[in-house]
Every structure is written in C-alpha cells, then in structure tokens.
Amino acid sequence: MSCTKTCAVSTALPGLNSAPIRAVIVGAGPAGVQAAQTLVRHGLRPVVLDEAARWGGQIYRQPPANFKRSKQTLYGLEASRAQAMHSSMQDLLPHVDYRPDSLVWNAEGGQLDILHQQQTSVLDYTHLLLCTGATDRILPFSGWTTPGVYSLGAAQVALKFQGCAIGQRVAFVGTGPLLYLIAYQYAKAGAEVVAVLDSATLGDQVAALPQLLARPSYLAKGLYYVAWLRAHGVPLHGGVQPVQVLTPPQAEARVSGLVWRDAQGEHTLDCDAIGFGYALRSETQLADILGCRFSFHAVQRADLPDTDAAGRSSVPGVYLAGDGAGIMGADAAQWAGERAALALLEDAGLLPTEPAQAAASVARVTQLNTQLTRAQRFRSGLERAFPFPVQWAAQAPDALVICRCEEITAGELRHAVQAQGVLEINRLKALTRLGMGRCQGRMCAVAATEILAHALGQTPQQVGRLRGQAPVKPIPFALVQASATAQPQEAS
C-alpha cells in the first residue's frame, strides 16, 4: 500500500505478537530518550516526536550545532549526565524514527495531529508514551509583564540555547531548587547575579532534611549551589515576597529595579532583568484531551493524570513518564521512561519469555520501582523545603494582571465570583476569557485557580482544573482549516 507521506513504523516480532505495533513517544527529554532506548533494546523502532530542534528536553537542552561553549560550561555539575544522554540518543538515531521540530497539537482516536515545517499531518499509533515534561509555575506580581522579566525556564533557555544572559544585573525570584540552579549557572557564565530571593525560609529547608536525605547526592548538590553562591558574594534572602517591578522614567519601560518584602519590611534592589518562578508544573494537555482520568495531588498542588506504578494511564495504550506525569526530576524521569516502556512491552506481549531473561526483566522492574519510590519521598521533601506560598492569592491586589494574553486582572476574576456566582474554574474561563490566549492557560491557570479558591474560601482541588483543548499550542489558522478538510495521513 502506498503512503501519502513517510510511512509510520510498524513492527511485528515473530513468535511474540502477530499484531503490528506502532509505538510513538512524544518528547525527547530524559524520559523520552530512556523509553526509546528500552523499546529499541526489545526490537521495536519507535517514532520519537520532539518539539525542539535537538533532543535533550529542557534540563539538557542542546544549543545550535555550531555553538562553541563546552558542555561543562553549559551544564555545570550535570555535564556528564547531559553528555551521556545526548550520546545515547545519537547512538539511537539509526534505530528510531526521530522527528525534531514536530509539535503534537491534538490527539484522539489513535491518531496524533502534528505540525512540522508549517505543514500538518496525522500519525497513527497503537501505543503512545507521553513524555511531555513541565513548564514554569507562575505566580504573578505587579509589573511581571514588563520587558526584562522572564520565567526561570526562559532565562535558562536563553543561556543554554542562545548563549546569552537576560540582563547584566539579574535578580532571581521565587522558590524551588531550580531558582538556585539557574542563579548558579548565570553566575558561572559571568553574569552579575544581584540577589536570589526565595519565598521559602531556612526553617522550611531544615524541617525537610529527613525526607531530603532519601537522595543524599541530590541534597549535596543543592547545598553546593547555595554554598557556591554565598562564597561568591551573591546575596540570598528567604521569606521573600516580590512587590513591584520598577521602571525608569523614560517612555520605553524596562526593568530598572525590584521592590521586595520580607519580615524586616520593604527593600529596593537595582537590577535590569528578573527571572522568576515557583517550581514547575506538569504539561498535561495531551493526556487531558485523550481522556485520561485526573486526580488532585496535594504534594504537587495540581491535578495530574492517574497512572499505575508503571506509568499506565486510564486510557488503554497510553502511558506517561517524566515530569509530565508529576515533577520528579531528571533521574526519576529516566527511570520512569524505562518503566513505562517496559509496561508497554508487557502489554504488547513483547517481553522475553525465556526464564533467565524474564527473571532479569522482573529484577529490573523491581529496581526501578524502588528507585521511583525513593524519588517520590525526596520530592515530598522538596515540597516541604520549598512550599507553595499559600498566602499569595490573599495578597494579590485587584489591579494585578493574571492572564497576560487577555489582560485579565485579579479584580476581574473576583468580580466574576461575586457578581455571577462562579464556583468552578472552567466557568470562570467562559465568563472572562481567562486562558483563551496563546498560552492556553499555561502561564495563568495556577494563579487563577488560587484566586478563585481564595475568593470562595475553598481549596484548589474543589474549584477544578482548566480543561485542555486542541490545539494545545498555537498553530496557523490556515493549517487548521486545511486539516479540517483533507489532512495527509501516515499509514503503513
């Protein structure tokens, strides 16, 4: 049978399973690469769809091919892990169908809608492994839309991918281990880090030590970043709330400083750029539109897709691994990627049945489960060390912009609650256009949920979650119209 585009990979292993297996992995970060490696090792040739130009995900994001800075300079203490992961995928390229610059913008009925080089196509699958990663968890403060204010992830992308800093005098604000990692990376790269302002306190971090000892090497790494920053004269402050971005009196506004508050009162800091974020949130839109069941997770303060210990979702043939299933870190993402791939192979009847090999598979699954359990304990410790600032919604002024795409303020959201009896986040969206802009709620959903919950005197769990819808990220209108009439399909 002829194909209208490049054929999707079908694999049937004689003697194990006569049905063709079309395994597709979305994402080429630590979880996706490890999953691909596992599937290849068992005889499959998966399709790996990567939104980025080169594999690595966010944590091991690769610069352009002609970039000259060394991995040691780019990744610091993570250089050896980055090198190992990049090399692993390089070795896999002859054995996988790797498709960079490929955005999966919709998924349903065993098919994925993909945007690649301004063309859209449909890819069939029998088994789908979502390794969609995470984005910054944003809690706005006054002036956060000013030029020169970046999320922590954006600041890291600028450094790793483009080899530039977001400013000459940079302040980092928020909470979470990423706050200190990026401050360290910027200082090592030669930028002036004028301060690290953490909403968590030293007391929070001391209280979390018993749980953080579940992974002593990670704890030691975090302590090293803090010690290095202190030794190099970077001011570190805890218990901080950012108050207001300052701008110069000239007509063209840009960051010139930051007002922040702690137990001693308000302070002013001179800076020309700000990176901020409050840890990470999972990218779950594809799992949502596929119909996966979700549950609220108190540790992550978010609704996440339900999975079993192996990464199976509530939808048969759909698996999740890595930060897209819950924030756990790069090592845990790799373990989860392998575990989910093994579950896929088991469900497809492709695991070896020879006694010695079968025993080895069982032993590996047991080892992965143990590692993931330990990682979960460590994750709980991180949440204790860097707690979500639950007082944020109560302190957010009415004039604060929550949804920057639609320019919706906290006051407008509160008014909808009071005047129109809004009780649920999707009703709030319908009445205010919250989350209907380019980011589809990625930047505003967390903050809006907190505002709604506080206005109702409820918990975030009680007000629900913004439902995902296609396209999960912006695509040209012309392509949507074309795909509605005659999309090319990839078939065997």
Segment 448-475, tens digit of pLDDT: 999 999 999 999 999 999 998 899 998 8
Q: How far is CA 255 from CA 74, 149, 180, 270, 330, in A?
A: 26, 7, 21, 9, 33
Question: Is pLDDT above 80 for 219?
Answer: yes
Report the pLDDT value the prediction gives residue 483, as an integer from 0 to 100.
58
Same domain, 143 and 249: yes
Question: Smallest Cα–Cα separation from 49: which of 376, 286, 274?
Answer: 286
Question: Smallest Cα–Cα separation from 395: which of 454, 456, 449?
Answer: 454
Same domain, 254 and 160: yes
Q: Is the peptide bond before 471 cis (omega within 30 degrees of 0)?
A: yes
Domain assignment present for 383: no
Domain final residue, candidates 351, 368, 383: 351
Same domain, 117 and 166: no
For the chain, what percent of residues have pLDDT higher than 90?
A: 80
Same domain, 130 and 183: no
Domain assignment present for 289: yes
Report the pLDDT value the prediction gives residue 485, as an integer from 0 to 100.
58
Q: With the C-alpha atoms ordered 39, 45, 47, 53, is the resulting torsion angle positive or negative?
A: positive
What are 148's two structure tokens?
């020169």
Same domain, 267 and 286: no
Question: Is pLDDT above 60 for 16?
Answer: no
Domain assignment present for 476: no
Q: How far is CA 184 from CA 58, 74, 199, 381, 469, in A?
A: 17, 11, 18, 22, 37
Question: Smallest Cα–Cα separation from 33: which of 10, 9, 49, 44?
Answer: 49
Out of 70-74, 303-307, 321-325, 391-395, pick the least confident. 70-74
Domain assignment present for 21: yes
pLDDT tens for each residue of 41-96: 999 999 999 999 999 998 888 888 777 777 777 787 888 888 999 999 999 999 99
Domain assignment present for 368: no
Same domain, 185 and 209: yes
Q: How far is CA 163 from CA 71, 151, 157, 330, 420, in A?
A: 12, 17, 9, 22, 49
Same domain, 205 and 97: no
**Structural domain count of the chain:** 3
Question: Is pLDDT above 60 for 136?
Answer: yes
Report the pLDDT value the prediction gives residue 1, as an integer from 0 to 100.
31
Question: How far apart, in whole angstroms, are the C-alpha atoms of residue 296 and residue 302?
Answer: 6
Same domain, 254 and 154: yes
Report the pLDDT value the prediction gives residue 73, as an integer from 0 to 100.
76
pLDDT tens for each residue of 220-274: 999 999 999 999 999 999 999 999 999 988 757 899 999 999 999 999 999 999 9
Question: Which CATH number fits the domain that encloses residue 449?
Answer: 1.10.10.1100
Domain final residue, candidates 292, 323, 351: 351
Same domain, 221 and 241: yes
Question: How far apart, in whole angstroms, are the C-alpha atoms of residue 340 and residue 312?
Answer: 7
Which range marks the domain in which residue 327 is found? 16-135+281-351
Question: Smallest Cα–Cα separation from 178: which of 228, 244, 245, 225?
Answer: 225
What are 211's two structure tokens?
């749980």
Same domain, 20 and 120: yes
The band of 487, judged by pLDDT with boundaries at 50, 70 and 90, is: low
Beta bridge partners of 121: 114
Domain final residue, candidates 351, 369, 402: 351
C-alpha count within 13 angstroms, C-beta hemisphere, residue 288: 18
Report the pLDDT value the prediction gives residue 292, as an integer from 0 to 100.
97
Output the CA angle 279-284-287, nearest 5 degrees.
160
Same domain, 292 and 327: yes
